[in-house]
Structure 1
């Protein structure tokens, strides 16, 4: 006997429509967060096991911080800021607390953030007394009519916004100071330590941010790609959210972040193919080292570099979580 024949018509309709609207197991993730802690000459031979563990643990902490924001219904912008703050507060990365020293023995930090829903953006450069430059970049985006503030002007704005101002001694770490001395003695090797984050939230909005201490031994108040919207950072709900790391001059010249997004928007390339074209073709031919991480509007993650390693990881609402360092890691 067909028992459903005795069910009222309205109940049959309810059961049928409920079946159609039930979420599938392979649906697009509700949210995604992807990070990097810099790309460069990173190999198992030059990274001690204990230090490697510290990097992996801190990357996981950063991912967990961003996931906590997104899982509670927080915005992509919030997730990006709070995630990057974790890495800025760690001496492991070349950003915030761990910022490298310039030729003059000072710390000159840059940061930027961008909202993919509005294309609004904020950035700061040459900052030496703000504890979390990424938070200052967000204040520039939301509380000023400008996109990029520099040096003492950026610090003055930070004070007016009530951000934490610290003495320059806060940024001193012996490891970074020793690295400067090796550079001054012409023994340094080129390494990149920028940090960044890109996120897709439950509302379908994208955001990206980047923070860095720049290059060790940099002169003449050099500014790289990290605070340049379209070069080191870009986000648009039409395509993707990206944060870059590497030799900034090349990322500026090739407007790497925006060009990847444009290839997706105008040439209909996939996120992976667009990133590969720029990172592993255009930059390689030009002699530019580095990488990028990001997420597109459909929740697809790309973490790509043309160097031997990049500190990187991602987490999704599907509970998928991954942290990797070396180029040969899946």
Structure 2
């Protein structure tokens, strides 16, 4: 007790000093600048989605106009050109479910296998994955297009889905996470009890990999939802456009000969586009945070 009590007092004194420390105004200012920089585009988007085409030109960009046209803009965006926006939304949903879901599944299986099995060439695979993470996706878009063009697979949803299945960062993340999240003793105990590798992975590996899986799913979902350059060069048929390419075609419509300027629908469509991804993030975040909190408790 004579040794523990002074240590506890010193710890309590440090906590009291930290609690009474003066705030860092420089850090507060930097945080405020980052917050404004992050929130301002969203505020601008929400405000201008409530304006008509005429008010977009005549009113201040960060404040509402007299006419509140949000619901009219939403109706027009959903029904414009025979409801092509809904078609683009369904296409985006297809690309996300197939691409992000498939990439998460492959990353989970691959990361678990690389973390828990030993085989020749493992260090080489690690180096290849790290190198693939460092290569930006836009640098591979043109070679990917040439490859798919040689097998006549362009202008097809598969031309967007198949490249999306490759997620080097997701594979690396699941590899690192699986290494520490799944104790080797648990796997050995399951094997001694007669469980096969598939059953061991399903009953032991998957529950422990939950937070990592959700993290990879979030990253791949956002990447596929915002994917623009790959479908831009792969898809020529507007019926297979995702929302990113479709809304951009609305934006460039005014610059074409005889094209109609519909910037109000471009802004409203952009607002409608980000709502699902926000909902998905907020829904998955609770599983992510609860899993990380559970893993942070020392047993």
TM over 0.5: no
> In proportion to residue count, which structure has more strand?
1
**TM-score, length-normalised on structure 2?**
0.21
> In proportion to residue count, which structure has more helix?
2
